[in-house]
Amino acid sequence: MSQLLVNKLSAVRRKRAMITALTAATAAVGGVVLLIGLTMLLDWYFELPRYVRAAMLAIELAIVAYVVIARIVWPIIHGPDDEDLALAVESETPDLRSRLISVIQLMRPDAVATSGMSTSMVGALIRETEQMAQPMDFTRVVKIERLAQIGTVAAVIIVGFGAAVAATAPSSITLAQRAMLMNVAVPRKTIAECLSGNIYVARGEAVTLTGKASGLVIPSEGAVRLDYATGGSQTFDMTRDEGSKDHYSRVIENIQGDFTYTILLGDGHSDEFKVTAAIRPAVSNVDCQQKYPDYTKAGTVKRQTGDLSLLAGSRLMLNITANKRLKITKTGEKETNHLHLHGSELDLPLTVNTTDPTKLTVQDAGQPGMPLPAGTTGFSVHLVDEQGVPSKNPAIYPITIVPDNAPKITISNPKRNEELVTAQATIEIDFDASDDYGVAAMNLRYRVVDAEGKTSSATGDGLAGTYFKGNDFAKKEMDRVDGLINFGWGAKNPINAALGTANASVRWTGQLQAPVSGEFTFFLVTPSSGAKIWFDGEPIVDENGAPKPVTLRAFQRYDVKIEYAKKSTLVPIEFQWQGPGILRQTVPKEVLFSVPLADKNSLVASNGMAEKIIPLNVATNKSIRGYYPWKISEIASGLPLGSVIQWRLEARDTNDVTGPGITYSEPLRQLRLVSDSDKKNELMQKMGEQLTDIEKIKEGQTENSSRAGRLVTGTPQNPSLDLPPDQKPPK
C-alpha cells in the first residue's frame, strides 16, 4: 500500500468534485437569472397570468434542484474510483505509462497472490512509481477552462440583469415580485386600480364601475372593457369624477347578463373583476292560515291570499316560498328578510329555513304567526337573497280586519217602553241575546231618578289641570281645577305669575258626560301648534286642529285629556263643542268632571246616583232566550210615589282579546212607581180603549156587510151613499 499515491489521487478526487460543483452552480445561477429576466420581460409585454409565472418559477426551481442533486451531491457520493483517476493521470503524464494503474491494481487485497508476481517485485514497482510521482502534481488533470467559460457567461448574465434592474427600478422590482408569484400589478406609468370589485346585481338594474389612477401619469379619462359570458366585448369611456383628480366611474345601465370587466387608465389596467346579474328574490307562493282567538273556539282555518278578512285578535300564520335561496341571518345580525304590515306600519322578521333556504315563516313573541294590530290593511314580503340582492316592488296582500260585533239584545216583554208599577209588582222581562261567538254575561242595570225623570247632571266641576314649567310636561309647578277651558292668558293672569312668560305646558284630564246621545264635534281654538285632545285614549283633534266627530251616549262618562304647550308667550286656547241641539260653544263646566267615575258605562242621575247592576245568571252561549221576574219590592222600599226607575239590559260577549263587546238595550225604559188605585185606573183606561177599538171594528164590519148585500140582490145604489161624508153632494 502506497500512502503517497493514495493521497495524490484523493487530492485529484476533491478538486474534480469542487470544479464540477462550481461549474454546475455557476451554470445554474446564470440560467435561473436568465429565466427570471425572460419571465419579467414576457410579463411586461404580455402580463403573464399567474399560472404561467408559476410554471416558469417551477422550471427555475427544477434547474436548481437538478444541479444540486445531479452535479453536486451525486458526484460526491458516486465519484470516480482510484483506477479511473489513475488512468486520467497517466493520460496527462506519459512518463508514468501504465505504472500508476498497475500499482493501484496491485494494492488491492489479494492482488499480489492472484497476479503471480513476487512480493519483492511488487514492492520494487511501487517504490519506483512513488519516486516518479513524488514531484508530479496529479491535480493538473482537473481542467478549469470550462468553469471559466461558464463563469464568464454567468457573470455577464448576472451583471446585465443587475444593470437592467437598477435602470428600470422600481418597475423591475415589481416585475421580480411578480416572478416570485407575489400578487402585485404589472408596473406601468399609470397604475390602474379597480375600486368597485366583484359585483352581484339584480338583473335589469344599473351598476357603477369605479377605478383609481396612480403612478407617474394620471390621465384625464379612461375606459372600461366588458367581456360578456355569452361572447363578445365592449369598451366604454370612463370620465373623471367631479372634484376628483384620480377617480373615474362609468354607469352601465340595464344589466341583463354576467360579464367580466377591466379598468383601463393610461398604459395600465386593473385586474379582471366580475359582475354577476341575477334575478331578484320574489315570493312564489304564500300559504295562509288564520288562527282565531281562543275565545271563539273556531280553531285554525286555511285562507286564500285574496280573501283575508280576519277577525280582530286573530293571528295570521304564513308559510312563504321564494323563487331562490335566501340569506340566512347569523346570530346577532339584524334580520334582513322581513314582513311589512301596511296601515299599522310595523316590520316583523321572517325566519329562513336552514335546511331549505327558499322557505320562510313568521313568528312574533315566540309564537307562530303574527298578530294584526289595529289599522293593518295588508302585508308585503321583503326578501334578500344569499348574495344580498333585495326584492323590489313586492306585492301587497290586502287584509281587512273585521271587528267582533257586539251582542244583540231584543226585549219581547214588557211591550211598552214605560210602565206604571206598584211597589208589590213583578215585572216579567223576556229577552233574546245573541253573539257570533258567545254571550258571556247578561246584566240588568237600573237607576232611580226624581218624579219628573230629570237626568241631566248639574254636578260637573270642570277638568283637573296640571301646570308645568317648560313645554315638555316634565317639571310640574301646580295643580288646580278649571271649570272652563277658555283662556286668553292676559298679562295679569295668575298663570303667568306662577309659570312665568317663558315656555310652559298644561295637561287637563277628567271626564265628559253628554246630555243627549248623538254625534258631537270638539274643537281646540288656539293659534298654537302644540295643542292636542284625546277621548278615551284616541286622538280626536290633531296638531293641525282638524276635528274628528265622535258618537256619544247620553249621560255616559268619557275620559278626556287635553295637552297644551307654548314655546314663548302664552296664546289663547278654548275647548268648544257642537252636537244635537247644541250650537258651537265653549264646553260648559256642568258636563266636565275632574274626578273620574270608576264605571264609565254607568248612567248618572241628577241626584248623583249611578246605575246599579243585577246579574242575570245565564250560561255562555251564542244564542240566549232568557226570562227574569223583577220584583219591584226589592228596590222600591222607601221610594216615594212618582219615582221613576230607568232600566236597560246589558250583554257582554266572550271577547277577551279586543273586548269584551258590550251592548245595551235601546231605548232606555222606565217604570213609574204608582199607587194601587192609579194602577187600577190605568188598567181600566186600557180596557176602555180596547172596547172602543172593538166597537169601531164592529161598525166597519156592519157597513161592509150592507154593501155586499146590495151587490148580491141587485138593489139600485145611490153612488153618494158610498162616499165619505165630506165628499157627498148637498141635499
CATH classification at residue 631: 2.60.40.10
Asked whether residue 486 falls in the same domain as residue 387, the answer is no
Q: Would residue 717 count as lying in a domain?
A: yes
Asked whether the predicted pLDDT for residue 517 surpasses 60, the reply is yes
Amino acid at 503: N
* pLDDT over 70 percentage in the chain: 87
pLDDT, tens digit (0-9, with 9 covering 90-100), for 611-624: 788 999 888 899 99
Q: What share of the chain is helix, strand, coil (3-state, %, to 5)?
A: 30, 35, 35
Q: Is residue 74 part of a domain?
A: yes
Rounded average pLDDT over 91-102: 73
C-alpha to C-alpha distance for 202 and 254, rounded to whole angstroms: 9
What 3-state class would DSSP assign to 245? coil
pLDDT-based confidence at residue 731 (cuts at 50, 70, 90): very low
For residue 704, what are the domain limits? Answer: 692-721
Asked whether the predicted pLDDT for residue 499 surpasses 80, the reply is no
What's residue 289's pLDDT?
Answer: 95
Q: Which of 658, 682, 187 is nearest to 421 (CA)?
A: 682
Q: Any idea how long the chain is?
A: 731
pLDDT at 656: 86
CA 279 to chain centre: 21
Q: Where are the alpha helices (DSSP H) in 67-118?
A: 74-77, 82-92, 99-106, 111-115
Confidence of residue 661 (pLDDT cuts 50, 70, 90): confident
Query: What is the arithmetic mean of pLDDT over 47-52?
Result: 86
- Contact (CB, 8 A) for 474 and 553: no
- CA torsion angle 18 20 26 30 (round to 10): -170
Domain final residue pick, 378, 402, 426: 402
Task: Scan for cell 286668553, then name that residue.
Answer: 488
Distance of CA 162 to the CA centre of its chain: 62
Positive or negative, the CA dihedral 385, 390, 393, 398 is: positive
Mean pLDDT (the chain) is 83
pLDDT for the residue 426: 92
Residue linked to cell 320562510? 360
Domain boundary among 227, 243, 278: 278
The backbone region for 537, taken as left when phi is positive above 0, alpha when psi lies in -120 to 50, beta otherwise, is left
Residue with cell 297644551: 564
Report pLDDT for 725.
54
**Is pLDDT above 50 for 606?**
no
CA distance 515 to 454: 11
Q: What is the DSSP letter of 719?
A: G
Has residue 285 got a pLDDT over 90? yes
Same domain membership, residue 148 and residue 58: yes
Q: Which residue has the higher pLDDT, 667 or 260?
A: 260
Q: What is the mean pLDDT of residues 506-518?
A: 87
Higher pLDDT residue, 122 or 285?
285
Separation between Cα atoms, residue 483 and residue 588, nearest integer Å: 8
Task: List the helix and strand counts (H, then E) for the chain.
Answer: 12, 41
Reduced to 3 states (helix: H, G, I; strand: E, B; else coil), residue 374 is: coil
| Contacting residues for 608 by C-beta, under 8 A, at least 6 apart | 457, 459
Give the bridge partners for 384, in sequence order.
390
pLDDT at 657 over 80: yes
Distance CA 146, CA 152 (A): 10
Integer Cα distance of 336 and 352 in angstroms: 10
pLDDT at 131: 77
Q: Which residue has the higher pLDDT, 311 or 635?
A: 311
- Identify whether the C-beta of residue 192 lies closer than 8 Å to the C-beta of residue 225: no
- Residues 6+ away with beta carbon under 8 Å from 26: 147, 150, 151, 154
Chain position carrying cell 477552462: 145
Q: CB burial class (10 A; 0-12, 13-18, 19+) of residue 416?
A: exposed
- State which amino acid sits at residue 171: S
CA torsion sign for 328, 334, 340, 346 is positive
Report the amino acid identity of residue 523.
F
* Residue in 506, 511, 503, 510 with CA at minimum distance from that of residue 478: 506
Residues 296 and 427 in one domain: no
Residues 514 and 659 in one domain: no
Pairing of strands 315-322, 359-364: antiparallel
> Is the model's pLDDT at 349 over the cut of 60?
yes
Give whole-number Cα distances, 59 to 2, 55, 68, in Å. 48, 6, 14
3-state secondary structure of 282: coil
365 and 474 in a single domain? The answer is: no
**Domain count within the chain:** 6
User: Which segment, 444-453, 478-487, 543-552, 607-616, is predicted with the most confidence on average?
Assistant: 478-487
Residue 552 near residue 574, CB atoms below 8 Å: no
Q: Encode pLDDT of 412-471 as tens digits.
A: 999 998 999 998 899 999 999 999 999 999 999 988 876 554 544 446 889 999 988 887
* For residue 680, pLDDT beyond 80: yes
- Grid coordinates given for 595: 274626578
546 by Cβ neighbours in 10 Å (0-12 / 13-18 / 19+) ranks as exposed
- Among 246, 278, 310, the domain boundary falls at 278
Q: 114 and 232 share a domain?
A: no
Q: Read off the amino acid at residue 667.
A: P
In a domain? residue 174: no
Q: What is the pLDDT of residues 328-348, one digit of tens each?
A: 887 767 778 999 999 989 999
User: If residue 359 lies in a helix (H) or strand (E), which one and from where to where?
Assistant: strand 359-364
In angstroms, the CA 508 to CA 510 distance is 7
Looking at residue 607, its pLDDT comes to 46
CA distance 102 to 97: 10
Inform me whether the pLDDT recorded for 695 exceeds 80.
no
What's the pLDDT score for residue 88? 75
Report which of 365, 388, 347 is spatially closest to residue 198, judged by C-alpha positions: 388
The pLDDT of residue 113: 59
81 within domain boundaries: yes
Nearest alpha-carbon partner for 259 in 304, 224, 286 = 224
Mean pLDDT computed over 683-687:
82
* Residue 40 forms part of a structural domain: yes
pLDDT per position as a tens digit, 310-328: 999 999 999 999 999 999 8
Q: Are residues 59 and 152 in the same domain?
A: yes
Q: For residue 291, what are the contacts with CB-CB under 8 A and spacing of at least 6?
A: 299, 300, 314, 315, 316, 317, 368, 369
Determine the pLDDT at residue 721: 46
- State in Å, rounded, how far the first CA of the chain is from the last one: 192
Res 729 pLDDT > 60: no
- Domain shared by 317 and 427, yes or no: no
CATH code of the domain covering residue 334? 2.60.40
Q: Quote the strand ranges of 207-299, DSSP E.
A: 207-215, 221-228, 233-240, 247-252, 259-265, 268-269, 273-278, 283-291
In this structure, is residue 728 part of a structural domain? no
**pLDDT of 254 above 80:** yes
- Asked whether residue 366 is domain-assigned, the answer is yes
CA 531 to mean position of chain CA atoms = 34
The CA distance from 301 to 248, in Å, is 59
Measured CA to CA, the distance from residue 517 to residue 581 in angstroms comes to: 11
CA-only gyration radius of the chain, Å: 56
Provide the CATH number for the domain around residue 573: 3.90.182.10
Question: How many other C-beta atoms are found inside a 10 Å radius of the C-beta of residue 254?
Answer: 10
d(CA 729, CA 720): 7
Whether the pLDDT of residue 717 is over 80: the answer is no
Q: Is the separation of the CB atoms in 449 and 606 below 8 Å? A: yes
CB 616 within 8 A of CB 454: no
Same domain for 715 and 669, yes or no, is: no
Q: What values do phi and psi take at 203, rounded to 5?
A: -60, 135
Q: Which pLDDT value is given to residue 720?
A: 47
Residues 451 and 539 in one domain: no
Q: Which residue has the higher pLDDT, 460 or 495?
A: 460
Q: Evaluate if residue 252 carries a pLDDT over 90.
A: yes
Same domain, 374 and 475: no
Burial of 467 (0-12, 13-18, 19+ CB in 10 A): buried
Same domain, 98 and 33: yes
Nearest to 151, CA basis, from 29, 15, 18, 61: 29
In three-state secondary structure terms, 622 is: strand
Q: Is 589 part of any domain?
A: yes
